A and B are shown apart, each in its own frame.
Chain A
Amino acid sequence: MNEKKSFKAWIQSGKVNRKLCIIVFMLVPVALLLIFTYIPFFKMIGFSFYDMKYIGDREFVGLQNYVEVFTRKDCFQALKLSLYYIVASFIQLALALYFASILSFKVKGGGVFKGLMFFPYLVCGIAVGFIFKFFYTRGFVLDTVLQWCGFNLENLPYWLKDTSINNISVAATSIWRYMGQGMVMFIGAIMSVDASLYEAGDIDGANSFQKFFYIILPNIKTIIVLNMILSITGSLSVFEPPYVITGGDFGTGTYFVIMNKLAHESQKVGLASAMAVVLLGLIMIATLIQKGVEKYYFGVGDQESIREVRKRKKRQELEAKGGAR
């Protein structure tokens, strides 16, 4: 009885209780993270050193898979396609920012528009692919709409077959899908801007453009940069649109689509794993470069940018010299 009480007391004591809480609450997310992210990830790194198929013996080959990734023509050729998606993601961010700055003020039917524009993000990527497959089919939705506008069917290109345009067609679907998500994030950021700044702006006679450039933009730059990083890393690893819409044929095979083909059709699991690890490295490098650029030009959060600090120092030095003279 006495012992039980002491155990109860022990477990209820602040220190133990707090630790227990932390552990118990962390257990589920950490377990999920380990099972579904880290264990498969480290397994994959392991696979990348083997010559292996899904079924059968595996043979340790060291770095040979990595050498092959860098010497193959198609792997890095495919990364060029990411440029289409990077451009698309910038267009998408610009549109999102535009709609966000309109919709974050009082607009008639603002809620409806927000909902409509966010909706595509809720549709699963595979479904989006099928939607656009029919959208781009000869004589279907897009062609019909363009014909209403006076275009002649014979002058229209084959949206998915024509290699000069099919990557743009496919990349456009990701604008449609992700624009709403970016917009919602921007609206959230704009809402958090101190309302007294707008009032101050009004008093000083600032128009809407000036308010946007001098009040909104500086206040949400962190979220803009974050979105840019997300969309560039996303552009490097595009998979669903080309896989579902064109199957990666006619020159639309992105890095991921080629990886998938190697792993599933040619059973080169080791090589595909190495490709994945290389892409991970590339994404990390891209993120680091962006972070550096951001720090230098814009500053993180409340921190001033390195460029500003240096400029000021220089000015101060000059002034100090001038003063000495």
Chain B
Amino acid sequence: MKKSTLKRVFAATVSAAMVMSLAACGGSKKAVEKQEIDLTIDQIKLGEDYTDIEADLKFLTHKTDVIDTTFSEYITEFQKLYPNVNIEYEGITDYANDITTRLTTGDWGDICMVPMTVDKDELENYFTKLGDKAALAGTYEENMLNNYAYQDNVYGIPSMANVQGIVYNKKVFEDAGVTELPKTPDDFLDALQAIKDKTDAIPLYTNFAAGWTMTAWDANIDGGATGDPDFANTGLTKGENPFADRGDGTGPYAVYNTLYEAVKRGLTEEDPTTTDWEGSKGMLNAGEIGCMVLGSWSIVQMQQAGDNGDDIGFMAFPITVDGQQYAAAGPDYNYGINCNSSSDNQIAAMCYIKWLVEESGFAQGEGGLSVVSTDEYPEALTALEGIELVVNNPAASGEENLFNDVNNDSELGINVSGAVPTQVVEEAVSGSKTMEDMAAEWNEKWTAAQESNGVEY
């Protein structure tokens, strides 16, 4: 008898708890409110202000490989200055996809790397304003702050900046008799051919199967392929038929055509569908791969992937505009702070971001450029002497979202999905479409998207 009453009480309690938690689910959405704080990152003096602040921070990161090593050292270092701030890192493997969904909940943590998918006019609804652009420009490279700035308010500070180009194995190039770095697409293809003929290495490894690695080709099409810091806005976003062949071996067409020709001439790996990203690092290091198109962030990873770290070199994309070679430089992922966190958490997060950018040495350790104006180039990029770095200018006011909108509507996924280089590889393998066919197709999609977003030439 008693037992059955107990059971009933238990069941009733469980069901009540269920209903309560359901109600809580419904209500919690409103509990998350934007917390305004009156502080900007340039006002903080590290180690002097807010040293007694207490906060538990959650940090979402794409760098899953160094959470237990580098990042935990950072936390120890940071806690020497701010002993009451605890930081917990959460690594997300499929970062670019997952973070967007998590952001929409408003309750994801305190610091994250701002994804490309947030439109600029939406930034203020998700992220804390870190300062005015003019005020921050004193400390940081002004051009690097553009990606997540809206109407002169900055919402993200780049963790580091990258130079786009090609990471290569110096020894393989020497063995093939290539003594001078190629400066045009034709030189580059000849060099690849020489590698194929004279060595056992795979001349160019596409890393096709990983998917995201293909976006590295997209990153070369604006500044690096034209030398024009405004090309991304006037040439690509608002330009007429940006993918058309310019005839002089420059521009987006030249970049993609290089890939097309390399695949078509058999200068890449035999089977692109089964490439292995983690394995490719060791293969480049060991001289089994000649080169890969990737940003400068990859240099350190390639060097550490084996015993021949000294063989790894970095060159600009082989396109020369009027006798000058350029390389696109731009910010990597930006740190952003959740504007729904408590104000103490936001302030602590701001201190940590400032410390990461200015004191941690993260950018240098990763082989990237620091965005702090006074810092110098890392060693790995010294080979880029004589090459001009191009940082894209910001879009005109009122057109901050235009590139994202056109890019999404056209489904070309420039810098997002790598859909264009992926198609290039597929068609070069099957040979059903020529480069001209594809360029015409992209132009058509791009133009339609431009029209629906009100772009006029």
Closest to B100 in A: A54
Contact B408 A160 (CB under 8 A): no
Interface residues of B in 195-225 (CB under 8 A from A): 208-209, 211
Given contacts A55-B122, A55-B126, A265-B417, contact A163 B274 (CB under 8 A): no
Contact-size category for A: 35 or more
Task: Give, as a whole number of angstroms, the nearest-CB distance from A163 to chain B.
Answer: 6
Given the contacts A27-B15, A56-B122, A161-B429, A267 and B274 also touching, CB distance less than 8 Å:
no
CB of B374 within 8 Å of the partner chain:
no
Q: Among A28, A160, A262, which residue has its beta carbon within 8 angstroms of that of B411? A: A262
Q: Kindly state whether residue B37 has any CB partner on chain A within 8 Å.
A: no
B104 at the interface (CB under 8 A from A): yes
Contact among B14, B118, B122, B271 for A161, CB-based, below 8 A: B271
Q: Is the CB of A55 within 8 A of B413?
A: no
Residues of B within 8 A of A20 (CB): 8
B39 near A: Cβ within 8 Å?
Answer: no
Complex alpha-carbon distance, A133 and B408, angstroms? 30
- CB of A261 closer than 8 Å to a CB of B: yes
Q: Does B426 contact A (CB under 8 A)?
A: yes
Cβ of A246: which chain B residues have Cβ within 8 Å of it? Answer: 209, 273
* B270 on interface, CB distance cutoff 8 Å: yes
CB-CB under 8 A from B8, the residues of chain A are: 11, 20
B104, B273, B417, B426 interface centre (most CB from chain A within 10 Å): B273
In the complex, which residues of chain A have a beta carbon less than 8 angstroms from the beta carbon of B409?
Answer: 266
Q: Which bucket holds chain B's interface residue count?
A: 35 or more
Question: Are the CB atoms of A53 and B408 closer together than 8 Å?
Answer: yes
The 8 A CB mask of B416-446 against A (1 = contact, 0 = none) is 1101001000100110000000000000000
Scan residues 112-140 of chain A and give those whose CB is less than 8 A from a CB of chain B: 133-134, 136-138, 140
Q: Is B397 positioned at the interface, with any CB of A under 8 Å from its CB?
A: no
Q: Is B119 an interface residue (CB 8 A)?
A: yes
Q: Which residue of B lies closest to A28 (CB)?
A: B18
**In the bound complex, do residue B18 and residue A31 qualify as a contact, i.e. CB atoms below 8 Å apart?**
yes
Q: Are A249 and B422 in contact (CB under 8 A)?
A: yes
On chain B, the residues within 8 Å of A314 by CB distance are: none
Q: Contact between B119 and A55 (Cβ–Cβ < 8 Å)?
A: yes
Q: Are A160 and B274 in contact (CB under 8 A)?
A: yes
Please state if B271 and A247 are interface contacts (CB–CB under 8 Å). Answer: no
Is A160 within 8 A of B22, CB to CB?
no
When distances are taken between beta carbons in the complex, the residues of chain B under 8 Å from A251 are 426
Q: Are A247 and B209 in contact (CB under 8 A)?
A: yes
Judge whether A163 and B271 touch: CB under 8 Å: no
Mask of B312-345 contacts with A, CB within 8 angstroms, 1/0: 0000000000000000000000000000000000
Closest to B429 in A: A161
Q: Counting CB contacts under 8 A, is B272 at the interface? A: yes
With beta carbons under 8 angstroms apart, the residue of A53, A158, A249 that contacts B208 is A249
Tell me if A80 counts as interface (CB < 8 A to partner B). Answer: no
Closest to B116 in A: A267
**B274 contacts A136, CB within 8 Å?**
yes
Question: Chain A: which residue is nearest B12 at the CB level?
Answer: A24
Roughly how many angstroms separate A158 CA and B122 CA in the complex, as a whole number? Answer: 46
Assess whether B387 is interfacial by the CB under 8 Å rule: no
Whether A161 pairs with B97 at a CB distance below 8 angstroms is no
- Residue A151 is within 8 A (CB to CB) of chain B in the complex: no
Interfacial chain B residues near A134, Cβ < 8 Å: 274
The docked-state distance in angstroms from the alpha carbon of A27 to that of B14 is 10
Q: Is B70 an interface residue (CB 8 A)?
A: no
Find residues 277-313 in chain A having any chain B CB closer than 8 Å to their own CB.
none
Residue in contact with B408 in the complex, picked from A24, A35, A267, CB distance below 8 Å: A267
A28 to B411 CA separation, bound complex (whole angstroms)? 42
Which residues of A are found within 8 Å of B104, using beta-carbon distances?
Answer: 54-55
In the complex, whether B66 has a CB less than 8 A from a CB of chain A is: no
Partner of B103, one of A35, A55, A137, A247: A55
Please encode chain B, from 243 to 277, with 1 for each CB lying within 8 Å of some chain A CB and 0 for all others: 00000000000000000000000000011111000
Assess the A55–B118 pair: CB atoms within 8 A.
yes
Q: Which chain B residues (1-54) contact chain A, with CB distance < 8 Å?
A: 8, 11-12, 14-15, 18, 22
B69 on interface, CB distance cutoff 8 Å:
no
Does A250 count as interface, using CB distance less than 8 angstroms?
yes
Q: Does A315 contact B (CB under 8 A)?
A: no
Q: Are B271 and A138 in contact (CB under 8 A)?
A: yes
Q: Is B84 an interface residue (CB 8 A)?
A: no
Distance (Å) between the CB of B400 and the closest chain A CB? 13
Q: Does A177 contact B (CB under 8 A)?
A: no
Residue of A nearest to B15 (CB): A27
Q: Is there contact, CB below 8 Å, between B117 and A53?
A: yes
The verdict on A250 contacting B273 (CB below 8 Å), with A27-B15, A265-B417 known, is yes
Neighbouring A residues of B270 by C-beta, 8 Å? 138, 158
Residues of chain A contacted by B209 (CB below 8 angstroms): 133, 246-247
B18 touches A163 (CB 8 A): no
Contacts of A55 in B (CB 8 A): 100, 103-104, 117-119, 122, 126
Which residues of B are found within 8 Å of A161, using beta-carbon distances? 271-273, 429
Contact, CB under 8 Å: A266 / B413: yes
- Report Cα–Cα, A134/B276, bound state, in Å: 10
Q: Which residues from A are CB-within-8-Å of B430? A: 163, 250
B101 at the interface (CB under 8 A from A): yes
Q: Is the pair A56, B119 in contact by a Cβ cutoff of 8 Å?
A: yes
Q: How far is the CB of B279 from chain A (nearest CB, A)?
A: 11
Q: Which residues of B contact A261 (CB under 8 A)?
A: 417, 419
What string of 1s and 0s marks CB contacts (under 8 Å) between A143-169 and chain B? Answer: 000000000000000101101001000
Asked if A264 is an interface residue, CB under 8 A from chain B, the answer is yes
A264 touches B271 (CB 8 A): no
Query: Nearest-CB distance from A154 to chain B (Å)?
Result: 11
Chain A residue numbers with a CB within 8 Å of B12 are: 24
A35 to B14 alpha-carbon distance, docked (Å): 17
With both beta carbons as reference points, the residue of chain A lying nearest to B211 in the complex is identified as: A247
* Contact sample, A vs B, 5 pairs, CB 8 Å cutoff: A53-B408, A54-B117, A56-B122, A136-B274, A266-B413
Counting from the closest, the 3 A-B pairs by CB-CB distance are A265-B417, A160-B273, A137-B274
- Residue numbers of A with Cβ under 8 A of B are 11, 20, 23-24, 27-28, 31, 35, 53-56, 133-134, 136-138, 140, 158, 160-161, 163, 166, 246-247, 249-251, 261-262, 264-268
Known: A28-B15, A161-B273. 9 other contacts (CB 8 A): A54-B100, A55-B122, A55-B126, A56-B122, A161-B271, A161-B272, A247-B209, A247-B211, A267-B408
